[in-house]
Chain A
Amino acid sequence: AQSVTQLDSQVPVFEEAPVELRCNYSSSVSVYLFWYVQYPNQGLQLLLKYLSGSTLVKGINGFEAEFNKSQTSFHLRKPSVHISDTAEYFCAVTNTGGFKTIFGAGTRLFVKA
């Protein structure tokens, strides 16, 4: 069985400051990892994914994430946030060769002027 824990339910940050949204996962098998973004009353949009290879993956909108196998983490980062980054962010995991994806509970990012 797999599980995903997003360690912060809400993260307030000032505009142009860096941000890190934390995600830990648990799985007994190899996994693929994903980050999605959801704007109010919208569906989710894929930000980035880790499948294999380089542990640092870059996504859309200037976001990046680092896979750490020993710490079973996949934290999302952005060096300088904008007001428009205000949204909810979901970490997700799927076991390789599997079919179902498990989502974390989400982290609300508030970017303040």
Chain B
Amino acid sequence: DGGITQSPKYLFRKEGQNVTLSCEQNLNHDAMYWYRQDPGQGLRLIYYSQIVNDFQKGDIAEGYSVSREKKESFPLTVTSAQKNPTAFYLCASTPNGGSNYGYTFGSGTRLTVV
């Protein structure tokens, strides 16, 4: 079955450390997204990519970086510049970035700073 795979499911980060969250999709979708979820705040957009080798900042991009070298993959790096990274991170995709389709989401990565 097609879908989005996020790994790892749980991740612990030490202060000052960069960590990378994986997102892979086999849906042949063009557009991919990263959202951050904090309790009571809904989802906030970090980065999105409509095509390979191109991506744009979302509303809360500071302290994060991404790459889109392959259509299937959209990894997110949480850098040491992100001062409050503890959150639930969700990757999503849509076929062509069209607004009428709705997202397909992965099962998320829970990141905790230790």
Residues of A near any B CB (own CB < 8 A):
4, 9, 32, 34, 36, 41-46, 49, 51, 90, 94-101, 103-106
Contact = CB atoms under 8 A, between A and B. Distances in A.
A27 to B, nearest CB: 12
Contact of A43 (B50, B102, B108): B108
B103 A90 contact: no
B68 to A, nearest CB: 15
Nearest to B105: A43
Interface residues on B, range: 20 to 34
Contact of B108 (A41, A49, A51, A101): A41
B107 A42 contact: yes
| Most chain B CB within a 10 A radius of its CB, from A44, A51, A106 | A44
Interface string B4-15: 101001000000
Contact of B99 (A9, A36, A46, A94): A94
Interface string B48-90: 1010000000100000000000000000000000000000001
